[in-house]
Amino acid sequence: MVDAARRAGTAQRRSVFEVFARHLPSGRRYGVVAGTGRLIEELTDFRFGDAELSWLSDNDVVDADTLDWLAGYRFQGDIWGYQEGELYFPGSPILVVEGTFAESVVLETLALSTLNYDSAVASAAARMVSAAGGRPLAEMGSRRATERGAVAAARAAYIAGFDATSNLEAGRTWGIPTMGTAAHSFTLLHDSEEDAFRAQVAALGPGTTLLVDTYDVAAAVDLAVRVAGTSLGAVRIDSGDLPGQASAVRRQLDGLGATATKITVTSDLDEYAIAALRAAPVDSYGVGTSVVTGSGSPTAGMVYKLVAREDSHGEWVSVAKKSTAKLSVGGRKSPLRALDGGVASAEVLHVEQDPDAPTASARSGRPLLVPLVTAGVPDPQYLGVAGTALAREHRAAAVAELPTDAFRLARGEPVIPTVYE
Amino acid sequence: MVDAARRAGTAQRRSVFEVFARHLPSGRRYGVVAGTGRLIEELTDFRFGDAELSWLSDNDVVDADTLDWLAGYRFQGDIWGYQEGELYFPGSPILVVEGTFAESVVLETLALSTLNYDSAVASAAARMVSAAGGRPLAEMGSRRATERGAVAAARAAYIAGFDATSNLEAGRTWGIPTMGTAAHSFTLLHDSEEDAFRAQVAALGPGTTLLVDTYDVAAAVDLAVRVAGTSLGAVRIDSGDLPGQASAVRRQLDGLGATATKITVTSDLDEYAIAALRAAPVDSYGVGTSVVTGSGSPTAGMVYKLVAREDSHGEWVSVAKKSTAKLSVGGRKSPLRALDGGVASAEVLHVEQDPDAPTASARSGRPLLVPLVTAGVPDPQYLGVAGTALAREHRAAAVAELPTDAFRLARGEPVIPTVYE
């Protein structure tokens, strides 16, 4: 596309692309924007190096002029977007990229890869957080995500309200609190469960979490308190009927005097299993597969669409695909979260012809676009450890505006309508 | 775990870990192993660098001795596994890692991240390949995968029988044939559809594929043949009622004399939609979201389990978790694909106590484990471009052994049973 547009003289036309989801994943009430901080950080390193250029040349993918252009590629346009951690609804323009057609169109895959995955994880994680009703959640799903995707998943879950991750690289890169756990292999490595528990307590102190379901849970709980004492930090249960197990283990721990020892449960938890454990004496949850795979919706399904561009006279023109099923609304949008007594009531998208015109909605509410990248330079407040913490705070504030129906786990419509004005 | 085992003197015990799936994704008849080549390639670079070690030290994750051990970490053990492209069934030990406990246990996340994702994609892709009945398939899902996961997905789909990818990095890294497509934004960039088609044909010649559903399909097909001539390579349809659209476009192209112009369809295809297009005049498919997200099963759900280890006398002991729901079978397995007249009839797992004992199944068939890594060094035949091509060939040969019931899309049991001997 870049090659052909360059030859046709259209590659330099100023263009506006929007990222949005046509609908929320089936039955969800709201979505959580994540990946924005990663995207604008990766944008600054988004280059075509010698190895890539040689391959493009050897395989005649683009012509020599376009190769030169790619060699010098630096995005120099502007990007606005929903602040990371913001909520989104069908049509919400969570990212708005303005630049030349050529410099903007090559960002499509980078933008969608980061935003689609991270938002899918964050949107699922947010449901688990509300289902947990204030009990802490740890993300433990690295094994069910790709090597680098696992780090992104830990970050997205944290933004959505998880408290910690077992992914140490996510701790190092994004400042997310980390935690660990012993696997069954650690118990099985030793000649007895007692040897394993003693080894773990010797290394990590009695405040550690002992895994009690390798052989017999009741025997292991007895042993755990015998080895670590009543100051044992926690026990972990990873199989079986979790509500029943948790109640039995709580009674047993209390009977042994370990009244402060906590119970953490893992084992294929998702938002429904977490909700089902609300009445059980569980202190914290470890969630793996379901959070890193978006709990049934592994991508947010966002698209990157041209909505406006210059014509041959330099005038802005709104554009949109016209055929059949996949209708889009052309023109740049100015989005607003309409609020009624502090409670979100609509996602209002004011459609403008002119990208320089001010927001013109008659409704009161919270404008949703913030400048993320100006003339190619990211706003540093959204980057790194500080940006991740800021996104988590922003998510908490945005969730607090939702009507209570947003937290129903049952399938339903988006909790507020999207209105085009 | 490493820290505690080192202090307890058990970290150096020789150990055998197996990677296997307890069950196939819901309703699937077989799975396809992928990710092995990527894993053993990444293994050689799997190190703990200064940045990681400083962070581990600053955060007191491990003690100073373990930090030193991590600084010098090189996997020096042996790995066997199913050859990449091989099929798998519940319990199939697709990877067998033997080394010290410490050097082997730290590979868990790397091994599972690569194998779980790539096998999920390959297993879904294989169903699309059989549903396509010989028509070519292109992987176009990068936007719905993570940045690096997208490259892995392209590779896994190719191993499973896809013919090409739109991910150029997968072409560069793994030698996978690449193809491209024009997006709706390319048409919308131009003042008219005709300008867009002329620009594309000028850059890529009449053999290119023109996207015909931006405005009106019938008008676009007329225009496409007028601009490119009857030697137009193909038209792409990305929306609407695909079987009906394809038939109408075929009649129109034939009527215009463009009898050799092909029709390619995209638009949220999965194996069921591909099968539904069997009777339609479609020449090739482009598949995005569903293949890179495993078509409903975004992880293969494989686990990494200790199955045997030395005891304090240096004797091998089979080990397995004993409690409730998640039973594992201890002991190293020697797997065999039992064949009856060349047709697969069972996955036979001979359970050995002694890892040095030879395979001892009474059944005839094909042994499934090959040496992948010996004393830390990967077998080069499984690496890079050549390894990827080899995996694709191996998949084709293994699929050819399956009974025909394997290719039913309806949910069902694994097509052959897993038998422990």
Spans of all domains in chain A:
2-122+297-420, 182-265
Q: Provide, as residue numbers in chain A, all residues whose Cβ is less than 8 Å from the Cβ of B313.
A: none
With CA atoms as reference, the chain A residue closest to B192 would be: A311
Name which of A1, A217, A238 is nearest B182 (Cβ-Cβ). Answer: A1
A12 contact B CB<8A: no
Strand partners of residue B100: B14
Name which of B113, B188, B293 is nearest A298 (Cβ-Cβ). Answer: B293
ipTM: 0.96
Q: What is the mean pLDDT of residues B312-339?
A: 85
B214 contact A CB<8A: yes
Looking at residue B204, its pLDDT comes to: 93
Q: Say which CATH topology domain B2-122+297-420 has.
A: nicotinate phosphoribosyltransferase (3.20.140)
Looking at residue B358, its pLDDT comes to: 52
Name which of A105, A171, A214 is nearest B185 (Cβ-Cβ). Answer: A105
Q: Provide, as residue numbers in chain B, all residues whose Cβ is less than 8 Å from the Cβ of A210.
A: none
Looking at residue A34, its pLDDT comes to: 98
One-letter amino acid of A353: Q
CB contact under 8 A, A319 and B52: no
CB contact under 8 A, A299 and B144: yes
CB contact under 8 A, B239 and A324: yes
B66-96 pLDDT, tens digit per residue, is: 999 999 999 999 999 999 999 999 999 999 9
Residue A372: pLDDT above 80?
yes
The encoded tokens of residue B316 equal 């091998």
**Could you tell me the pLDDT band of residue B359, with boundaries at 50, 70 and 90?**
low
Name which of B10, B114, B309 is nearest A147 (Cβ-Cβ). Answer: B114
- Tracing tokens 């012809």 back to the chain, one arrives at A353
With CA atoms as reference, the chain B residue closest to A189 would be: B309
Range name among A25-29, A272-276, A362-366, B132-136 with the lowest pLDDT average: A362-366
Asked whether the beta carbons of B67 and B57 are under 8 A apart, the reply is: yes
Q: Which stretches of A9-139 are DSSP H helices?
A: 36-43, 50-58, 64-71, 101-105, 108-132
Asked whether the beta carbons of A172 and B51 are under 8 A apart, the reply is: yes
State the smallest CA–CA distance between residue A45 and chain B in angstroms: 13
A396-413 pLDDT, tens digit per residue, is: 999 999 999 999 999 999
Looking at residue A147, its pLDDT comes to: 97
Q: Provide, as residue numbers in chain A, all residues whose Cβ is less than 8 Å from the Cβ of B145.
A: 113, 117, 299
Q: What is the mean pLDDT of residues B157-174?
A: 98
CB contact under 8 A, B301 and A116: no
- Let me know if the fold of B2-122+297-420 is the same as that of B133-291: no
A165 contact B CB<8A: no
Looking at residue A359, its pLDDT comes to: 53
Q: Provide, as residue numbers in chain A, all residues whose Cβ is less than 8 Å from the Cβ of B267.
A: 326
With CA atoms as reference, the chain B residue closest to A326 would be: B239
d(CA A163, CA A153): 13
Name which of A42, A113, A309 is nearest B145 (Cβ-Cβ). Answer: A113
Q: What is the mean pLDDT of residues B390-404?
A: 98
Return the axis-axis angle of helices B384-399 and B36-43, rounded to nearest 10°.
150
Q: Provide, as residue numbers in chain B, all residues whose Cβ is less than 8 Å from the Cβ of A114.
A: 146-147
B183 contact A CB<8A: yes
Looking at residue B147, its pLDDT comes to: 97
Looking at residue A363, its pLDDT comes to: 72
Q: Provide, as residue numbers in chain B, all residues whose Cβ is less than 8 Å from the Cβ of A39.
A: none
One CATH from 3.40.1280.10, 3.40.50.510, 3.20.20.70, 3.10.20.30 for B133-291: 3.20.20.70
**Could you tell me the pLDDT band of residue B26, with boundaries at 50, 70 and 90?**
confident
What sign does the CA torsion over A271, A273, A274, A276 have?
A: positive
Residue B322: pLDDT above 90?
no
Mean predicted lDDT score pLDDT of chain A? 95
Best residue of A48, A115, A143 to probe chain B, by most B CBs closer than 10 Å? A143
Q: Provide, as residue numbers in chain B, all residues whose Cβ is less than 8 Å from the Cβ of A184.
A: 305-306, 321
A291-328 pLDDT, tens digit per residue, is: 999 999 999 999 999 999 999 999 999 998 876 556 67
Q: What is the mean pLDDT of residues A221-250?
A: 96
pTM above 0.90, yes or no: yes
Name which of A214, A298, A304 is nearest B322 (Cβ-Cβ). Answer: A214
Looking at residue B267, its pLDDT comes to: 86
Beta strands in B83-152 (DSSP E): 87-88, 95-100, 137-139
B114 contact A CB<8A: yes
With CA atoms as reference, the chain B residue closest to A3 would be: B203
- Tracing tokens 């099968």 back to the chain, one arrives at B275
Q: Is residue A319 classed as helix, strand or coil in its secondary structure?
A: coil
CB contact under 8 A, B294 and A298: yes
Which among A285, A143, A275, A133 is positioned nearest to A209, based on CA atoms? A285
Name which of B10, B172, B189 is nearest A55 (Cβ-Cβ). Answer: B172
Looking at residue B403, its pLDDT comes to: 97
Looking at residue A330, its pLDDT comes to: 87
**Could you tell me the pLDDT band of residue B321, with boundaries at 50, 70 and 90?**
confident
> Domain A182-265 has what CATH class?
alpha beta
Residue A16: pLDDT above 90?
yes
Backbone angles phi, psi at A199, to 5 degrees: -65, -40
B43-53 pLDDT, tens digit per residue, is: 999 999 999 99
State the smallest CA–CA distance between residue A169 and chain B in angstroms: 8
A364 contact B CB<8A: no
Those residues whose C-beta lies under 8 Å from the C-beta of residue A314, and which sit 6 or more positions away, are none
Q: Provide, as residue numbers in chain B, all residues whose Cβ is less than 8 Å from the Cβ of A323.
A: 213-217, 239-240
A65-85 pLDDT, tens digit per residue, is: 999 999 999 999 999 999 999
Looking at residue A320, its pLDDT comes to: 87
**Could you tell me the pLDDT band of residue B327, with boundaries at 50, 70 and 90?**
low
State the smallest CA–CA distance between residue B412 and chain A in angstroms: 20
Q: What is the mean pLDDT of residues A228-246?
A: 94
Name which of A3, A148, A172 is nearest B203 (Cβ-Cβ). Answer: A3
Residue B64: pLDDT above 90?
yes
The C-alpha torsion from B204 through B209 and B214 to B218, rounded to 10°, is 120
DSSP H or E stretch at residue A416: none
Interstrand relation of A209-211 and A164-165 (parallel, antiparallel or unpaired): unpaired
Percent residues over pLDDT 90 in chain A: 91
Which among B200, B252, B202, B203 is positioned nearest to B230, based on CA atoms? B252
Q: How far is CA B147 from CA A118, B69, B139, in A?
A: 11, 32, 15
A 263-292: CB under 8 A from B: 267, 289
State the smallest CA–CA distance between residue A343 and chain B in angstroms: 32
Backbone angles phi, psi at B67, to 5 degrees: -60, -45
Cβ neighbour number for residue B177 with a 10 Å cutoff:
13
d(CA A21, CA A300): 7
Looking at residue B354, its pLDDT comes to: 53
A 316-345: CB under 8 A from B: 319-326
Looking at residue B65, its pLDDT comes to: 95
With CA atoms as reference, the chain B residue closest to A140 would be: B109
Q: Which stretches of B315-383 are DSSP H helices?
A: none
The encoded tokens of residue A342 equal 């502090």
Percent residues over pLDDT 70 in chain B: 96
Q: Provide, as residue numbers in chain B, all residues whose Cβ is less than 8 Å from the Cβ of A238.
A: 326
With CA atoms as reference, the chain B residue closest to A5 would be: B199
Those residues whose C-beta lies under 8 Å from the C-beta of residue B293, and which sit 6 or more positions away, are A298, A299, B124, B141, B144, B145
Looking at residue A239, its pLDDT comes to: 87
CB contact under 8 A, B189 and A15: yes
CB contact under 8 A, A320 and B188: yes
B 367-406: CB under 8 A from A: none
B 82-101: CB under 8 A from A: 101
